[in-house]
Amino acid sequence: MKINSISPLNHKYLQIVGSIAKVPKIVHVYGELPEQRRLSVAIIGSRRPTSYGTQVALELAEKLARKGVVIISGLAYGIDATAHKGALNVGGTTIAVLAGGLGAIYPRAHTGMAEDIVRDGGALISEYPHDALPMKHHFLERNRLVSGLADAVIVVEAGERSGTLSTVTHALEQGKEVFAVPGPITSQQSVGPNRLIQQGAHPVLSAEDILTVIAPHLVDIAHTQPLSHAYTGDARTLLSLIESGTDHGEALLTHSRLTPAMYFTTMTMLEVDGVIRSIGGNRWALT
């Protein structure tokens, strides 16, 4: 394992961390960092996400990575790992910021993912000595680097007292854009992002919502309107519900007020058209 120790203020990609509190004098890097500054977003959230949160995090990471956006997260279970996986799925660049030394990958179950990140042109970063174990207070300290390296922070799912929200606090102090994925008001994992939206965070319904704010030149004009706008009648009703976060078949049937026959006919048509897909458990997502 070849590890480089770098002064962040002397590296073009890392110089952005000059805006954070307690700028580390040295960061240790395993892998490759972009030589120049590139658009980067942090995707963060619960360690115990719902299937909805996992699906959204994966799709956002994939779509942003395809646009050349660097995906940053913390290698933790849940949304972090899903964000890294999404970037890797499409050959994108992803960076993991660790709460321990680079010789003490945590969680150990993600050692293989860490190697995949480096193998595919990304990097692992830590401000701690090589063999430093991840201490509880390190995770909160690490969060200022996660947001500091990013141009924007996206919260997918988080409970009301989630440590994820400390990253948001750092992002706001650093003047970064904050985005949040809305979810059902009955879900404890959506309390955090829903509250952030209530307080002024940008709501996210698609990757284009993020790019429109931080990189409008990357937005595909054909996708600036919700997909439902391309349909009428029953199809538009169902797509609007899915876009708003309703994903379970029974809820879609109830809220659409369609007869079962019309519901199944319309859903089949949308699936054949390739605009929706089953994600298991009678749940549906946009493709």
Domain positions in the chain are 3-219, 225-286
Tell if the pTM clears 0.85, that is, is over it.
no
Of 142, 93, 151, the C-alpha closest to 120 is 93
Could you list the pLDDT tens digit for every one of the 287 residues in the chain? Answer: 689 999 999 999 999 998 898 999 999 999 999 999 999 999 999 999 999 999 999 999 999 999 999 999 999 999 999 999 999 999 999 999 999 999 989 999 999 999 999 999 999 999 999 999 989 889 989 999 999 999 999 999 999 888 888 999 999 999 999 999 999 999 999 999 999 999 999 999 889 999 999 998 888 754 555 666 667 788 889 988 888 788 899 999 999 999 998 898 888 888 877 788 888 888 888 87
Please spell the DSSP secondary structure of 158-197, one letter per residue: --TT-THHHHHHHHHHTT-EEEE----TT-GGGHHHHHHH
To the question of domain 225-286 being in CATH 3.40.50.360, the answer is no
Structure tokens, 184: 């059902």
Structure tokens, 113: 């993912």
- Are 3-219 and 225-286 in the same CATH fold? no
The confidence score (pLDDT) of residue 230 equals 64
The confidence score (pLDDT) of residue 156 equals 96
Of 197, 122, 92, the C-alpha closest to 155 is 197
Distance, in Å, from the CA atom of 124 to the CA atom of 137, rounded to the nearest integer, reads 19
Residue 257: count other Cβ atoms within 10 Å of its Cβ: 10
The matching CATH number, chosen from 3.10.20.30, 3.30.200.20, 1.10.10.60, 3.40.50.450, for 3-219 is 3.40.50.450
Distance, in Å, from the CA atom of 68 to the CA atom of 37, rounded to the nearest integer, reads 12
Tokens 């919700």, located at residue: 226
Cα-Cα end-to-end distance for the chain? 39
The amino acid at 56: V
